[in-house]
Structure 1
């Protein structure tokens, strides 16, 4: 009688053998052929745009411009993160831009006109965003008004609220040091390296623990070599990013040094990880996807659909409030245009360009980050080219239309393959 090996004893009867790198790669190609493109289109687009602007304008790839990309795109990315939740359930929020402006106006009023501490003003601004989302979500889920109509009405109304809060259109300065530092200060180089090390260590621990648990249960999992490649890839990307951001960007370092990671970068990272965990590792996140995939089926499965629909609006408007605070930090002031102009269009564009479906049920928080990077690169590159606003809007609109077209074709291909 043959004695079972140690590996055989650990693997449940009938379980598939551990996958190899080759089989993993073949499975990835099969998913691509089936229409599951993932983040590939936006990553390729980002590479093409960076290559194009770096050839036309060599100063695009400088350390100073790399840091500018984060500060220019931070507010849009934060608003887009919240919009992902609304889009996932098949709704839309057209008021997110001006909602961020209203929350920024609340912040500025409390700081400058009322003399409140920065943390009180910040909490009040975020609470205002949550209240806005609660009202919008209630009108959509409980009253039954289409989200397009509700948020369009709010889009118009919030412009009036902005004028009332800032006394008819004056510019209200924001001078609280902790708020201003978000977009205008940099972390010491050593802190940047420590944060990168913490991020890589945390990601590695999560990936390896997940691989071990799935392997122990006999579930399908990626090869360990693939997991290690992911960890190494993240370490390389973060290491390169921190290295570039730690380069001296000041024209005269003797007078003032300009090195280090912008303070807003860790803020983006923390919120991105937290919201990603909420969507991918909690029952709430599964319910959001279920409601977006099939609302009636989710209701029959016992999910409180109305509660989920209200909650995504609360998350969206709360993230809009954070985006408004970051915008106030960047300009050190708030006026009637804060959150207006092209902020909403860029935020929705960032979510869709990144891969979030307008039809609901498909999307990730990372989509907002990747799409926001594309929007920031376009905005920044067009600025370096001295392109007119008309050219910039046309180009951005074309990229958005292309992304929506890829999403529609992907869904059609997946539906055809499932028949």
Structure 2
């Protein structure tokens, strides 16, 4: 009896789907190939935001030559910070597929707590700020308990918080309705008058470019050890040189006026810290996993309740910090603090910057990019002496385009994956 031999299947080669075209020997060509491949699959990245910024800046510069002046761009950068910090917390919540509608009210309440304790109660400024941040953390913990213990949707729970904490803010401010912060306080000085010396700004640029190179080099080594594709050293060097040239020019241009505000530098540093936490830690991987599919994440052993609790605490704490910075910037707290369009702008900035409303997609840089877009629109329209109604309409149109692009990208990825 003759045995029939079954052909042995070829050995399976593991492919790094996220970076399979980026080989060490491919160089710049491999990077471009990988980039076009991601675009075709629906992963647009920051490309729409960059294109949008170029269009916005070109239009406003053509209408008013002051728009791209070093003085206006320096003011624009500092004005981004308070709402940008709030938007950073919103990004964290969106990543797990939830929402916080009360960030504006929480920021106003924290500003009121800071003013009452610092001015009326004569607390040290650092202790007043700490009390405001603690209040924000407690609020975030309450939201997480409503969601995880009682099953209250975050939309409803935070909507209740929006109303309740607005009322608490009004109660704390009392009949006067406003409290001025001392102009000689460290808080006001940091928000209004603290700018990086020119020489130090260039040192920070060099350190940033070096950090980009060495972190990229460390990641490439880790990927090679794991038998995955990695960027070549020459490509990493070119990227670092591009960062050095870009940031160096920006620092030189802003130094033609007052320079770079320390508050903006601190905001960028905070974005980098959250970028590291989301991309290089187990907590960050858990956040993306829960946002992608909470039930699947739970079955793999991830403590979903703990992840929800952490992101809501972070969101409310960052909202509190944003409120403190806004109060310091204005040197005052009143009944309008945190009200108006603060809430909507923070959420819009996160979405415009690339955070998906469907969860599981987005980066910490979304807060920075999104708020620059929104603040650019606001600054440009202000220079043109146009009514605020135009700002709302333009911002709404940009938000609609951003969400539409996200939806189209999701459909494209689904089609590409099915193929």
Moved more, 165-174 or 369-378: 165-174
Mapped pair 1:18 → 2:17: no
1:72 aligns with 2:71: no
Alignment of 1:226-265 (within 5 A): 226-248=235-257, 259-265=258-264
Question: What aligned pairs does 1:14-413 form with structure 2 within 5 A after superposition?
Answer: 18-20=24-26, 21-168=28-175, 170-175=177-182, 177-185=185-193, 186-248=195-257, 259-413=258-412
- Aligned-partner Cα distance in 1 for 2:192–2:62: 29
Q: For the Cα contact (< 8 Å) 1:71–1:330, is it kept in 2? A: no
Q: For 1:369 and 1:14, locate their aligned partners in 2 and report how far apart those are by CA, in whole Å.
A: 36
TM-score for the superposition, normalised by structure 1: 0.92
The whole-number CA distance in structure 2 between the counterparts of 1:90 and 1:169 is 40
How far apart are the structure 1 equivalents of 2:128 and 2:374? 30
TM-score, normalization by structure 2: 0.92
The answer on whether the counterparts of 1:100 and 1:323 sit within 8 Å (CA) in structure 2 is: yes
Distance across 2 between alignment mates of 1:315 and 1:19: 42
The number of aligned residues is 397
Contact map agreement 1:169 1:336 (CA 8 A) in 2: no
Runs of 4+ in 1 over 6 A off after TM superposition: 13-16
Aligned-residue offset at 1:14:
9.4
Deviations 1:194-216 (A, max 9, x none): 22222222222211222233234
CA displacement 1:225-251 (0-9 Å, x = unmatched): 332222122212211221122113xxx
Equivalent in the alignment of 1:414: 413
Between the aligned partners of 2:189 and 2:72, the Cα distance in structure 1 is: 19
User: What runs of 5+ residues in structure 2 fail to find an aligned partner?
Assistant: 1-12
C-alpha RMSD of the superposition: 1.6
SS of residue paired to 2:94: helix
Task: Tell me the alpha carbon deviations over residues 244-299 of structure 1, each in whole angstroms, 9 at most, x when there is no partner.
Answer: 22113xxxxxxxxxx23212122112211111111000000000000000010001
Structure 1 CA distance for aligned equivalents of residues 47 and 14 of structure 2 = 34
Q: Deviations over 1:141-180 (max 9, x none)?
A: 2211011100111111111111111113521111262211
Structure 1 stretch displaced more, 212-221 or 106-115: 212-221
Specify every segment of 5 or more residues in structure 1 that has no aligned partner in the other structure, as ranges.
1-12, 249-258
Kept in 2: contact 1:95–1:152 (CA 8 A): yes
